[in-house]
Structure 1
Amino acid sequence: MPDAVRRHYELYPYPSYPLFASVRRADTYANNLDALWSLFNGELPPADLARILIAGCGTFAPYPFAVANPKARITALDLSETSLRRARLHCLVHGVTGVDFVAGDLLDPALVTGPYGFIDAYGVLHHLAEPEAGLRALAARLGEGGIMRVMVYSRYTRREEDAIRRALTLLKVREPEAVRRMVARSAQGSRLREFFESSGEVASRAGLADALLHPQVKSYRIGEFIELVAASGLTPLRFAHRGALPEPEREVERIRGMEKEKESPGNFVLYLGRSPKGPCPDAEAVFRLNPCLLPALSPWRITPVDIPGRLGNENGPLNGAERRFLRRFRHPVQAAELSPLDLKRAGSYADRLFLLRCRELSV
């Protein structure tokens, strides 16, 4: 099946963002390794773990990760040479360097070797013939205290898409153009037409192919996903899909309740860790601004910073008072220097990755 998946992405490299599509560094703040490590370990990553692996990187992810982590060593791994060429070109167009592009199967232990401080497997495991083997292979590359982000399709978010894909497979429909012709002939109000009218994924040729013509797809109920995670030996740290509760156990129970009504909060996004040390208590912490936000909070910048939702939060534009507060942390601030109210506020921003919260902070 890896060959079938490889051929699919050679034909339909995904996602199909324009080469000039750009991100501001402020928008990449949740990809910053120092911020993630401090959230789950209460300290900065050691120098030998300032390494990031993007497994199944596709055509775009290396660019925002490199923007967020200009000093980290980044490896972008993908089955598809076409996807890697596009990803490399996107980085070159935006003047981004420091990424190693590697073609091959993540199951090959000799292809890229750890340890890594952060591994991203966003939208990858559900395209493997053996997702458990894939997750274990990635976990083996994770260093002590290391963090992994995984995203898999949830059954009740993808059930209409899954049904259409199965039907297209039975009908031996293999090209996006053939699907579009079917949609054009379908009746108003039909399931196929309604799906196309409501789904943003199918707007592009590559998006349509990824959603409906992929040769290897699995979607998960929450129980199945937790079983997959348990087999990896890693610790669930925090769900990060929209509206997620911060405690993994509570979020699992919330999703179980939703699934009884055949609903889901979206695709499942979860951070995992290898022997995490846990966050630093607010009262013992040193706080500093997430480095990705430094340019955005410069005193001369007056355009509001629109920071998209991360870690399950809905983050609106920062107002003037928020910006002034965060600006105080451009240099390290000890907890003892903050009032009880400001300390609580700083802890809240650290939970959202706007601030780094560490036992010690020398950067």
Structure 2
Amino acid sequence: MPHESPKTDHPRAPSQTRPDDRENTMTRTRLLAALLTAATLIGTAQAQDFPRTTIQLINPYAAGGSADLLARTVAMAMAERLGKEVIVVNKPGAGTTIGASFVAHAEPDGHTLYLSTATAHAIMPRLSKTAYDGIADFAPIAMLANVPNVLVVRSSLPVKTVPELIAYAKAHPNALNFASVGIGSQPHLAAELFMQTTGTRMVHVPYTGVAPATTDLVSGQMDLGFLNAPPLLQHIESGALRALAVTIPKRADLLPDVPTLDELGLAGFDIGTWYGLSAPAKTPGPVLDKLRRTLAAVMSDRAVRGKIVSQGSEVFYLDGDAFAAYLKRDAERMARLIDTAGIKTR
């Protein structure tokens, strides 16, 4: 028989860490800890010094509208608490994206803020190529207010309730036209959601603003619209327009006798015109915290809340984390609606 050498197991030598390796690891750990401490101290110092100069609050709409009134009310109250001027700068155009892009690329030090809207953060980035990411390029500070949209019809339309409107629209497909304030606007999306939910078909007529849309509704050239409540109130009271429902989950303070679409069987129907406040992404956490504390005080002030309500808005306050979660959900919801409705800007 051939001679077989006995098998011998040679255990692997345990890995050894040289003293200089341990020293390098400890040095790196100490350096990282020092950097984190320095960053914390810098952030804290920035918050203590903040604001160092005037704060710009960028409003992506023209002066005089509900957004402008809200922005100026909040800006004045913030200035009183921060001890520095807070000025509203109107940068309208391109469906709110001019103002949003300006803030997204501003210095992230808390001195440039944005009056946030679903249009800027969720809708326009889905409809067109924007120079910013509606979620990643912003740090949500707080939700402020909501302007209810209301479903109104011309007084001569032979419907007095939402069920009657649905029945009429089904019996006359594409015979009714609805006014909006632009492609992809909340009034447009509210109508699209209504049609999807009820199985109806109507014709979209986009306007450049709520004023001309309301004028044509009152004159009878338009059949209906899902528009901001404040400009419609006088026409609802006069009987020129008939309010059938509001498009948010709870009844509007301005129209307490008008039911919600959710109440009427369109479960979960929620498309209002909300406003919040955001800063550029990478704004230091302590600065954001100071802004959030300031806004919490502002929005809990009875005089400020009363002024906001008198302007036609409803206080809808959410702090930073809650606002960020709402914004993410709303962006996903709007994206699905835009895609399923096949909405395009061209």
TM-score by length of structure 2 reads 0.31
Higher relative contact order (CA 8 A, sep 6+): 2
From the CA coordinates, give the structure whose radius of gyration is larger. 2
